[in-house]
Structure 1
Amino acid sequence: MILNEIFAKIRRMDLYLAQDSNIIETDDIPRETRDPVWVLGRRYNAIQELDLIRRDVATRLWCTYRKGFVPLGRPQLTSDKGWGCMLRCGQMLLGQALLDLHLGRDWFWTPETRDPTYLKIVNRFEDSRKSPFSIHQIALMGDSEDKRVGEWFGPNTIAQVLKKLVKYDDWCSINIFVALDNCVVIEEIRKLCEKDDNTWVPLLLIIPLRLGLSEVNPIYIDRLKKSFEIPGTCGLIGGRPNQAHYFIGYVGDEALYLDPHTTQKCGSVGEKMSQNEIDMDSSYHQKFAARIHFERMDPSLAISFLCRTRTEFDELCTRLKLDICGGSQPLFEITDMNQMPWRKMPGLPKNEFIVPGHNMHDSEEDEFEFI
């Protein structure tokens, strides 16, 4: 009996380590670098803390292509391979926010983890029609953003879809605010998160950006790096042309990311009691992060931050104004209230104007597409 348990643990760890043969262990973090390694607001020393870095990376939810799920859309799709990479990146971003909110940034996953709160979180991303943030729910909600099932999403589209889906899951206890027109309006966020009884509903702030034409303009790279250093960061969704990635940090001039382009079988983690459920849980975690130079990233992306309390939101605004939005090359604008004038646009009938805060990206979604 004891030997069987030992062999089962070895099998689980082998599965966990061999999930993605495209990522080479020696290539994930440069071992001899003296540059700090930043992972979701945490600073590490690669020489002294490599195992801790990998433990942190492994704790993030790794959402990938799946096959064999309940048919979705018309035609009946049973896999999201080839079209679901940005949807999976959105799952990873929201998953990180829920881990941070309900378990804390100091919490770590292991193959033996059976924490009930953790299981509630991972269950929400399973490929089932009943799971609130499944590929089914995300793809079907995409219809409200003029995206048919099987079509690619951009960063702005997935942000808008997640914003709608969280309203249907009371347990997650989070509001999503998607900043429009490269502007974070503090007054609008307070109206969303501050309740009549003076309580604060936790906030996931997502800011879609376009930082160049075909590649990220180098003038923005230092600001992007800073975004990974700010407490409460939930990372960045974007990628390279034709591929979406979930970015969780950086080292030197390279961004660290989790890649959804591995196709795994569909299944349930459940309460993690059977061997199949244990193996399925391990399939949601990847020990090694990949790297890409910032200048090779697609310029359409979205950065994100979690504010669990009103105080954290105030501190985030202060930090953003100092590190991200100040100087001559800000990533976006942050303002106390919406001061945008009503705008008359060419081609509109007389006396019709664009409402302040109107998302111009809605009519320019091609800029946010991976095709």
Structure 2
Amino acid sequence: MQYIYGSFIDGWYNLRFFLNSYFQDSEKRLRQISNSIYILNHLINDELEVDQKMEKLKTLFESTIWFSYRTKIPQLQYSTLTSDTGWGCMLRVGQMALCQQIKYFYNLNTQQELTELIQQFADNDEEELSQFINRNDGDLTIQYKSPFSIQKIVVQTKQELQKLPGEWYKPNDILFVLKYLFRYSKYQKNLRIYINHENAFILSDIISLMFNTNGGDEEWLKEQIQKGQNQSHQFGVSIFILTRIGLETCNLEYLKVLNEIMTYPQFQGILGGFPNKALYILGRVGDYYIYLDPHYVQYAQTYQEMENDKSSYACQNIQLIDRTQLDPSMAISFCVKNALDLLDLWRRLKQSKSENGESFFIALTETHTFYQLAQSYYYGSDEDEIVTILN
């Protein structure tokens, strides 16, 4: 009976996924919008012919690795569940966001490189799950073939957050767990993860990760660049800023700033979506946002099965969300590959803050000390829609 019920629910999600694609008819809508398209760190100029624009968009969209609901997963720890249908959408969005960061930073393009990357997220990893459960956290040499599997996510979420399979994840939940699991990935060698839960971009914190040093400010960063600091001693940094740009709906002034941020070369997507429905937002065109939807159920694959078939990790259904539907709670992601990249992003953010004033919703500060001082003088009420802490 449980199998029949699960199959019915899976079928319903898939039917809804295709009906949404059919009635939305995103391709027709995209052909009618006379605006440039921004997707991840790419610009598709409106001066191109419509067919050329659509071809470029499809190529970029389909090359972005897609994670969706999976069924027939080996029974998850602490439960009888063998699927994440109905509860794992933010989990999948987090996987997509991290996967994209790794792919971008390491410039992974060959079929072998992409296969190896997707295998890091294999849903069926029974072979090494017991090893993970009994691991020695003090052993920094441990690497897993699939460190970001749903099984490992479930185990770590229960241990750290007391959350059981079947409970819905918030953006900070999945980012916290993925950051922990990142230590067991071969891709952690030259890349670090920075998560700010307080809607702040603190330059010294990111410098600390990039240079493995005790902070620094903009002048210090410029000095390192002028000295010709050897880039081999710099780490790339994957940046996630958790923010809220409105109460029930998005503040239109904040959306203007968000639209500008999405044009930056360091932009790597947004963990966001509808209320209670997580989506991975890749870019925008006009008043619409382009997204990957995890609400489609597929069969789990083993590490070995992925060697021969990874077609289920590419989505061909481009979908759009209108700005009026966007949930105001989100996590914005960037990736900086080196000091020059970080300085460029910092200057872009400062320039936007200067031009947009209070509508610039991310707190910018060079040092953590100054940020804490500013917080102590902030007396906004719980109903205040302004989320900026530093002006």
Instruction: Confirm or deny a common fold (TM above 0.5).
Output: yes
Q: Which amino acid aligns with 1:319?
A: R
The residue aligned with 1:187 is 204
Helix, strand or coil at the partner of 1:138: helix
Q: Does 1:267 align with 2:266?
A: no
Q: Secondary structure at the match of 2:291?
A: strand
**Cα contact 1:237–1:301 (8 A) shared by 2:** yes
On the 8 A contact 1:19/1:283 being kept in 2, the answer is no
The structural deviation recorded for 1:103 is 2.1
Give matches, 1:15-34, under 5 Å.
Answer: 21-22=18-19, 23-24=21-22, 26-28=25-27, 30-34=30-34
Aligned partner of 1:141 in structure 2 is 156
Say what the alpha-carbon RMSD is for the aligned residues.
2.6
Corresponding residue SS for 1:80:
coil
Return the structure number with greater helix share: 2
Partner Cα separation in structure 1 for residue 259 and residue 149 of structure 2: 30
Matches within 5 A, 1:236-247: 236-247=270-281
Q: Secondary structure at the match of 2:296?
A: coil
Q: Deviation of residue 232 (structure 1)? A: 2.0
Distance of 1:215 and 1:142 partners within structure 2: 29
Cα distance, 1:141–1:343 mapped onto 2, change above 3 Å: farther
Aligned equivalent of 1:303: 332
- Provide the residue aligned with 2:182 in structure 1: 166
Instruction: Compare 51-60 and 94-103 and name the one that shifted more.
Output: 94-103
Q: Distance in 2 between matches of 1:295 and 1:32?
A: 19
| Displacement of 1:226 | 1.6
Q: Aligned pair 1:211/2:245, yes or no?
A: yes
Matches within 5 A, 1:346-365: none
> Cα 1:230–1:77, aligned 2, differ >3 Å: closer, same or farther?
same
- Partner secondary structure for residue 30 of structure 2: coil
Q: Is the 8 A contact 2:17 2:295 kept in 1?
A: no
Amino acid in structure 2 at the alignment position of 1:124:
Q
- Residue 188 of structure 1 and its aligned partner are, at CA, apart by 1.3
- Looking at structure 1, the residues matched to 326 and 282 of structure 2 have their Cα atoms a distance apart, in angstroms, of 14
Work out whether residues 227 and 303 of structure 1, in 8 Å CA contact, stay in contact via their aligned partners in 2.
no
Which of 56, 59, 63 aligns to 1:59? It is 63
Equivalent-residue separation in structure 1 for 2:122 and 2:261 (angstroms)? 29
Q: Is the 8 A contact 1:119 1:270 kept in 2?
A: no
Counterpart contact for 2:283–2:291, Cα < 8 Å: yes
Offset of residue 139 of structure 1: 2.4
**1 CA distance for matches of 2:305 and 2:294?**
24
Offset, 1:74? 2.2
Corresponding residue number in structure 2 for 1:6: none
Q: Tell me by how many angstroms 1:290 deviates.
A: 0.8
Contact 1:19 1:286 in 2 (8 A): no
Q: Which amino acid aligns with 2:313?
A: Y
- 1:100 has 2:134 as partner: no
Distance 2:17 2:63 in 1: 16
1:340 and 1:38 mapped to 2: Cα distance?
A: 32
Query: CA-to-partner distance for each residue in 1:228-250, whole Å, 9 max, x for gaps?
Result: 21112110011111210000001
3-state DSSP of counterpart to 2:321: strand
Q: Distance in 2 between matches of 1:272 and 1:82?
A: 24
Identity %: 29
Q: Give unpaired runs (5+ residues) of structure 1.
A: 1-17, 108-113, 345-353, 355-371
CA distance 1:321–1:146, change in 2 (3 Å): farther
1:119/1:269 contact within 8 Å kept: no
> Residue 291 of structure 2 aligns with which residue?
257
The DSSP-based 3-state class of the residue aligned with 1:49 is helix
Q: Distance in 2 between matches of 1:272 and 1:341?
A: 47
Quickly say closer, same or farther: Cα 1:96–1:135, change in 2 above 3 A.
same
Q: Which residue of 1 aligns with 2:383?
A: none
Which amino acid letter does the alignment assign opposite residue 133 of structure 1? F
Shift of 1:86: 0.1
The 3 A distance-change label for structure 1 pair 340 and 74 is same
**Residue in structure 2 matched with residue 43 of structure 1 by the alignment:** 43
Pairing partner for 1:233 from 263, 267, 280: 267
The one-letter code sitting in structure 2 at the alignment partner of 1:243 is K
Change beyond 3 A, Cα 1:214–1:146? farther
Q: Distance in 2 between matches of 1:76 and 1:125?
A: 21
Distance 1:231 1:324, change over 3 A: farther
1:176 aligns with 2:223: no
1:327 aligns with 2:357: yes
Whether the 8 Å contact between 2:124 and 2:303 is mirrored in structure 1 is no
Partner secondary structure for residue 331 of structure 1:
coil
Deviation (angstroms), 1:134: 1.3
Contact persistence 1:85–1:243 (CA under 8 A): yes
- Aligned residue in 1 for 2:81: 77
Counterpart Cα distance in 2 of 1:266 and 1:217: 39
> Could you tell me the TM-score, scaled by structure 1's length?
0.78
Shift of 1:323: 2.7
